[in-house]
Amino acid sequence: MAGGTTSNHAERPAIAYLDGPRLARSLAAGIDRVIARAGELNRINVFPVPDGDTGTNLALTLEAVLERLAERPGTAAGDVLAAVADAALDGARGNSGAILAQFLQGLADRAADAERLDAAALAEGVEAGASLAREAVAQPQEGTILTVLRDLAAAMQKCAQAGQRDCAVVFEVGRKRAVVSLAETPDQLPALRRAGVVDAGAQGLVDLLHGIADLLRAGRVRAGTALAARRVTVPAAAAAPAAHTAEGERFRFCTECVVVGEGIDRRRLREALASRGDSLVLAGTATKAKVHVHTDDPAAVFALAREFGTVRGEKADDMHQQADAATRRATVVVVTDSAADLPDAEAERLDVHVVPLRIQFGARSYIDRVGLSHAEFYRLLATTPEHPQTSQPTPGDFRRTYAHLLSHFEHVVSLHLSGSASGTLNAARSAAQRTGAAARLHVIDTRNASLGQGMIALRAAEVARRGDGVDAVLAAVQRAIDDTVTFGVAGDLAFAVRGGRVSRSVQRWTERLRLTPVLRTSPTGRIKPRGVLVGRRDRLAKLAAHVTSRIDRDKAWRLVVGHAQCEGDARTLQRLVEERLRRVTTSAVTELGTAFGTHGGPGTLAVGFQADP
């Protein structure tokens, strides 16, 4: 792109073509603008679901593109666009992210192996992308990003077909039409009109176009335009969120995955998915397809997708909780991971956000608690030959959660499984560093697990719910860490042997001597045997006596008893423990998930104590 720096088309030499490097720098400029405006896009997000995450999703989708561009994918325009489309497909988040990824796929398909794009080829590529994006949506809705893409493409085609050969002029004509089309979206969607906003996904597209146009107007792609990956940092929304409506909130989980295979029949896959929910977008190619659907049963969606190829990148975000977060006025929000066992009702009441672990049974991967219920987990644990492998959430899982919450809260307090027991803490810290918001993100080792970790998270959420500032929440967390302890007994040591946590000889000796090891979290966060119960008779009474003898019974305690498919025993243990303590301020029974259950199996029991401040 040769020429001077002016916005006057008559004075600026024409841009006859776009090659790979020029396309890359232009896209980078547009992406940078979308990322910078992510907080505002979250604020105006009311359709299809008012969950306040469109900006975060578009930013994460485009950040994946920016990371690929930083790898210098080539000098040919076709090669760059192919790399961009593939990265967008892998990184696509949310409804608008999946649609944008399919638009880029259509643009890449039309460019094929082209070394460069002239004005006519650019316009044809945009039209192909807009058409493919519309085809990807099961029920296209006017007044969304699809409408603006269509109008953008039509304007560019008309300009190019009229003989205009300047790429910048053709693009500018399309951009101006897109701005008008965006302004018209409230007239096409009642939800937007009621809220007094334009469509958030369409606004994100226009922001992308603005950034590209700013670069093209100069007549030269600035050599200093960065292709390095930009960290997605979403500032706290300065203004109140747009008025939310109940429209579109029929289903709970925004569910996504990538299907990889040969000859994926996308028509059959789309038909199979159509009955599972709404807001269905199926983007991609015959070898890689991105699934996006709103549903109440993510596990069923993932199982269905596995019939068409290898599934990866599963995620399921709770849109109801996100919508609630978008309207709350608290300054601090609490995050934990699914190794924490906590009563669901309390977690929902106090708005504790849970980032799920991943569980692998042989070749099958599941999202803890979302793609796999407690009951199904224990059924598979008892019947599957392969012992399950649990893995911490990826840094990307944490970043998505952090980026969304940072756009609605001033501070995020993230409380995790003991660093001595898992890599979860490091994954959370890595994600926090990449957000570029260290002063607002507080990642803490609870030095606990299971019930204890859950109790610490609930204590932090109670203080946050009162409206106390982040300093008060952090102080409460440190006190709770010192005042919380968890005990547990395995239902069957055979599961710990299968998982490599206990040797077979230890199992044989404990069975021969009729001993039951009692696990306890230490002040450093390790989970180790700290005593035994002798004999099998009156096991629950012995366990109650053992755990209460190791705490100060004169203190006021919060109590939670956890169980793995043995609620009756848990209720009895709860009563026996309460009888031995002078004062119990709160008491609950909850199911145990993967933290203890994987290595203890059905019949496992745990007791969590927290001194009540």
Q: What is the pLDDT of residues 258-299, one digit of tens each?
A: 999 999 999 999 999 999 999 999 999 999 999 999 999 998
Q: What pLDDT is stored for residue 435 in this prediction?
A: 81
Q: What is the mean pLDDT of the chain?
A: 88
Q: What pLDDT is stored for residue 238 in this prediction?
A: 40
Those residues whose C-beta lies under 8 Å from the C-beta of residue 302, and which sit 6 or more positions away, are 255, 257, 311, 314, 366, 367, 371
Give the count of beta carbons closer than 10 Å to the beta carbon of residue 255: 31
- Where is mean pLDDT largest: 108-112, 393-397, 477-481, 508-512? 477-481
- Do residues 490 and 532 make contact, with C-beta atoms less than 8 angstroms apart? no
Q: Is 506 exposed, middle or buried (0-12, 13-18, 19+ CB in 10 A)?
A: middle
Percent pLDDT > 70 in the chain is 92
pLDDT tier, 372 (very low <50, low <70, confident <90, very high otherwise): confident
Q: What pLDDT is stored for residue 375 in this prediction?
A: 87
**Does residue 224 have a pLDDT over 50?**
no
Q: From CA 25, how far away is CA 15, in angstroms rounded? A: 15
Between the alpha carbon of residue 376 and those of residues 317, 369, 384, 565, the distances in Å are: 20, 10, 11, 11
The percent helix, strand, coil of the chain (3-state, each to 5) is: 50, 20, 35
Between the alpha carbon of residue 433 and those of residues 230, 328, 548, the distances in Å are: 13, 26, 41
- Where is mean pLDDT largest: 114-123, 343-352, 502-511, 515-524? 114-123
- Do residues 50 and 243 make contact, with C-beta atoms less than 8 angstroms apart? no
Q: What pLDDT is stored for residue 424 in this prediction?
A: 87
**Does residue 239 have a pLDDT over 60?**
no
pLDDT tier, 503 (very low <50, low <70, confident <90, very high otherwise): confident
**Does residue 431 have a pLDDT over 90?**
no
**Does residue 233 have a pLDDT over 70?**
no
Residue 563 φ/ψ, nearest 5 degrees: -145, 155
pLDDT, mean of residues 207-228 = 70
- Do residues 528 and 519 make contact, with C-beta atoms less than 8 angstroms apart? yes
pLDDT, mean of residues 300-311 = 93
pLDDT, mean of residues 595-609 = 90
What is the enclosing helix (H) or strand (E) of 587?
A: strand 583-591
- Do residues 156 and 170 make contact, with C-beta atoms less than 8 angstroms apart? yes
- Do residues 129 and 152 make contact, with C-beta atoms less than 8 angstroms apart? no
Q: Residue count of the chain, please give it.
A: 613
Q: Give the Cα-Cα-Cα angle 353, 390, 316 (nearest 5 degrees).
A: 40
Half-sphere exposure of 503 (CA within 13 A, CB side): 3
Question: Does residue 529 have a cis peptide bond before it, meaning omega lies within 30 degrees of 0?
Answer: no
**Does residue 242 have a pLDDT over 60?**
no
pLDDT tier, 329 (very low <50, low <70, confident <90, very high otherwise): low
Q: What pLDDT is stored for residue 546 in this prediction?
A: 96
Those residues whose C-beta lies under 8 Å from the C-beta of residue 155, and which sit 6 or more positions away, are 173, 174, 176, 177, 178
Q: Is 194 exposed, middle or buried (0-12, 13-18, 19+ CB in 10 A)?
A: middle
Q: What pLDDT is stored for residue 509 in this prediction?
A: 83
What number of H helices and E strands is found in the chain? 25, 19
Find residue 332's DSSP bridge partners.
411
**Does residue 219 have a pLDDT over 60?**
no
Q: From CA 78, how far away is CA 116, in angstroms rounded? A: 7
Those residues whose C-beta lies under 8 Å from the C-beta of residue 190, and which sit 6 or more positions away, are 247
pLDDT tier, 4 (very low <50, low <70, confident <90, very high otherwise): very low
Q: From CA 242, how far away is CA 303, in angstroms rounded? A: 36
Between 9 and 469, residue with greater pLDDT:
469
Q: What pLDDT is stored for residue 245 in this prediction?
A: 45
Q: What pLDDT is stored for residue 27 in this prediction?
A: 95
By C-alpha distance, which of 179, 161, 177 is closest to 122?
161
Q: What pLDDT is stored for residue 212 in this prediction?
A: 95
- Do residues 428 and 394 make contact, with C-beta atoms less than 8 angstroms apart? no
pLDDT tier, 14 (very low <50, low <70, confident <90, very high otherwise): confident
Between 87 and 513, residue with greater pLDDT:
87
Q: What pLDDT is stored for residue 391 in this prediction?
A: 83
pLDDT, mean of residues 541-568 = 95
**Does residue 8 have a pLDDT over 60?**
no
